[in-house]
Amino acid sequence: MEKFEQIFSFINEKAEKYEKAEGITFLDGVLQALEDVLDEKENWPGQDAAKEEVRKAIQIAILKGMRKTSQPNHQMTPDTLGLLVGYFVEQFFEEQIKTTPISILDPAVGTGNLLLTVMNLLDGKTSATGIEVDELLIRLAADTAELIEQPVVLYHQDALQKMLVDPVDAVVCDLPVGYYPNEEAAVEYELCAHEGMSYAHHLFIEQSINHTKEGGYLFFLVPANIFESEQAKELNKYLKKTTWIQAVIQLPENLFASKAHEKSILILQKQTKSQRAPREVLLAKVPNMSNKEALSMFFEKVQMWKESK
């Protein structure tokens, strides 16, 4: 049995036992199983496993738990998208990470899957901060980060409230989409809606820009129609004033359950006096992931754009 399978079987078995014996959800059982390992109550089969094997095994167990409870805020960024975001982080920080680790913020970290995928890809070249309002999700993120030995500081709070986080080199975030219910907090933002409720994903973008160093980069998974919504005009104006749009990457339709759920990768750079906007914005569409030839051409296009910057 492969290490990945051993780790998943171990977590799955323990979680099912807790679910039956204590009448808790499978997801809570996963958390309990991970905490038992960290408290050294169990022999951990992931001792000599690669960090990605451990992350993936825990992720599959968490996904199983999410499918059983199906809470709307319990979503996870798929590995495919995490690896793509990680690829772009690596490209934009290629020179810096040769000598200096970069600091990363994920203001909607969830179970940490996106952030930890990026950190594993750039292993040893990052430190990170994650913010999450859901207690169960952030505890799962904390335990996973500890088991794969990635340096992450986590805060259990609403990321749209005041955050005590130093400005970072990079933000990665699968933006929570929808309306933000706390209208008192929304008023503090430039992207607060003039009428009705504000879009949470717009406020997350503004909050992220506020916590990014000048010249730093932001990598967002956004709704594919983000620039066509009713509040898009204000978002456009705000982005033009504070950032340079580096890239808009359309993702393959077959990765999403429906057109309404389709996403793109939006890459921004916080404006700085010492740099300038890119000569042209990279506009590209990721082909079907199973088409290796088309995928290779996509990465070539990215490299050509990068060299022409």
> 285: which strand partners?
250
State the sign of the Cα–Cα–Cα–Cα dihedral 151, 267, 269, 74: negative
Spell out the residues 6+ positions from residue 17 whose beta carbon is closer than 8 angstroms to its own.
29
Question: Is residue 99 classed as helix, strand or coil in its secondary structure?
Answer: coil
Answer yes or no: is pLDDT of 257 > 90.
no
Tens digits of per-residue pLDDT, 9-31? 999 999 999 999 999 999 999 99
Alpha-carbon span 21 to 5, nearest angstrom: 24
Tell me the two tokens of residue 300. Answer: 């070539």
CB 302 within 8 A of CB 91: yes
With pLDDT > 90 as the criterion, what percentage of the chain qualifies?
83
Q: Distance between alpha carbon 163 and the CA centroid of its chain, in Å?
A: 18
CB 175 within 8 A of CB 205: yes
User: Backbone phi, then psi, for 290, in 5-degree steps?
Assistant: -85, -10
pLDDT for 251 equals 95
Q: State pTM to two decimals.
A: 0.95
> 263: which strand partners?
223
pLDDT for 42 equals 86
Alpha-carbon span 227 to 67, nearest angstrom: 31
Tell me the two tokens of residue 44. Answer: 């951990």
Tell me the two tokens of residue 117. Answer: 């995928």
Q: What is the dihedral of CA 112, 122, 126, 134, to 10 degrees?
A: 0
User: Mean per-residue pLDDT for 224-237?
Assistant: 93
User: Mean per-residue pLDDT for 38-64?
Assistant: 93
Alpha-carbon span 67 to 30, nearest angstrom: 13
Please provide the average confidence, as pLDDT, over all residues in the chain: 94
Answer yes or no: is pLDDT of 70 > 80.
no
Tens digits of per-residue pLDDT, 114-123? 999 999 999 9
pLDDT for 260 equals 82
DSSP 286: -
User: Mean per-residue pLDDT for 104-108?
Assistant: 98
- Furthest-apart CA atoms within the chain: distance in Å: 61
CB 111 within 8 A of CB 154: no
User: Mean per-residue pLDDT for 233-260?
Assistant: 93
pLDDT for 6 equals 94
User: Mean per-residue pLDDT for 135-148?
Assistant: 96
Spell out the residues 6+ positions from residue 224 whose beta carbon is closer than 8 angstroms to its own.
250, 251, 262, 263, 264
Question: Is residue 177 classed as helix, strand or coil in its secondary structure?
Answer: coil
Domains belonging to the chain, first-starting first, are 3-69 (1.10.150), 79-308 (3.40.50.150)
Which amino acid is it at 94?
Answer: E
